[in-house]
Amino acid sequence: MAGPLDGVRVIDFSRVFAGPAATQILGDLGAEIVKIEEPSAGDEARFLGLRDGNMPERGVSACFLALNRNKQSLTLDLKTEAGIAVARRLAAGADVLVHNFRPGAMTRFGLSYEALRAANPGLVYCEFTAYGADGPMAHIGANDLALQAHSGLMSMTGEPGRPPVRVGTAAIDLHGALAMVAGILGALYHRERTGEGQFVESSLLLSSAHLMSYFYTEYWLDGVERRAMGTANHLSVPNQVFPTKDGGVVIIAPSDVMWRRCAEALDPERLAKPEYRTTTDRQRLKDEVIGAITDVTLSMTSDEIIERLGAVRVNVAKVNSVGEAASSEQLRAAGGVVEFDYGGEHVQAVSAPFRMHGTPATVRRAPPGLGADTVEVLKTFSFGDDEIAVATRGGAFGPPRD
């Protein structure tokens, strides 16, 4: 079955996390993704996170395999005139172009939106930067960790009274990927109606601000700056991790109705007290309520608590390890796992974060080897053998071989 983006051609100059995560989603939806990589080493993600710097037999890192399925790889040296000429021709035949170079880099290559739209007015050109293209910090490079710090997210993460810590995953990168996908799909819908492409801009800054949205508005309205609260949340009580006999569970009961069900299921004698009845009461007596719940949960196993609270529709979750979460039967049942083979090894990866039942996302290609599809891609874009030979001699795909 064809995907909803079947026939859409995407030229992807991005690397590492945010851009590749975005284009992988487009690829899962059926788009043809041409991944442009630097000839000598390719996308840095090919080697990220390798233990002790040792390359596994498969030749690439798990990070790369997680974010680069449904793509073809073409190596291109943008420091050569031949490489730039190939890039311009690819862009002229594409529907979407994505990059996450620093501001001004694509302009220096002669590949800015303004330079490309004359030959392809329907091009959707998506630029993802650190701090945006304008403003006093636009020239500064940054990554997910830097924006966790800049955005204030890091100041809220960790235990009260202790130094800030990072969120364990690249949350801003991956949130930024979804922002790019939303912008690109919106621009493609606009083009479907008008025939006009457009420039789509996003950044780690905008992604981090969106994650922090209600905290910023709370500050702008009331001058409140939230600080680290451990696993707790200021919005309701209970809303945090509680220790158990064998680990920990999250219990969240934000409404009075859910709290009554929670109290009755766990220990009505200790928890179903009149003084804990309302949301306001529980906020006012927060320490006392948390202490009472903790006394109860410490006498039970995590599975016992989940069984009791799940049965009465109270929000609850076990604090899993990465391995426990990845092995969860529920993740697979929800369609969260895809599988493919790479270099003779069977690989499991996380699916696109949604399911379309009419035109489902699919895995059509394993992540590509560096430059493995260069000739195939060029022929798809109507390059003849002579043209490929000329570009090769010009160093377009890396140093020419004798």
173 included as an active-site residue: yes
Whether cis (ω within 30° of 0) applies to the bond prior to 238 is: yes
CA gap 268, 73 in Å, rounded: 61
Contacts 24+ apart (CB under 8 A), 274-278: none
Tell the residue number behind the tokens 């006093």, with chain if given. Answer: 136
Those residues with Cβ within 8 angstroms of residue 103's Cβ, 6 or more apart along the chain or in another chain: 129, 132, 133, 138, 139
CA gap 183, 362 in Å, rounded: 22
Q: Which of 77, 95, 173, 267 is catalytic?
A: 173
Secondary structure, 3-state, the chain: CCCCCCCCEEEECCCCCHHHHHHHHHHHCCCEEEEEECCCCCCHHHHCCCHHHCCCCCCCCHHHHHHCCCEEEEECCCCCHHHHHHHHHHHHCCCEEEECCCCCHHHHCCCCHHHHHCCCCCCEEEEEECCCCCCCCCCCCCCHHHHHHHCCCHHHCCCCCCCCCCCCCCHHHHHHHHHHHHHHHHHHHHHHHHCCCEEEEEEHHHHHHHHCHHHHHHHHHHCCCCCCCCCCCCCCCCEEEEEECCEEEEEECCCHHHHHHHHHHHCHHHHCCHHHCCHHHHHHCHHHHHHHHHHHHCCCCHHHHHHHHHHCCCEEEECCCHHHHHCCHHHHHCCCEEEEEECCEEEEEECCCCCCCCCCCCCCCCCCCCCCCHHHHHHHCCCCHHHHHHHHHCCCCCCCCC
Angle of CA points 38, 41, 46, to nearest 5°: 105
Two structure tokens written together for 385: 């053998």
Q: Which of 199, 210, 206, 193 is nearest to 98 (CA)?
A: 199
Active site residues: 173
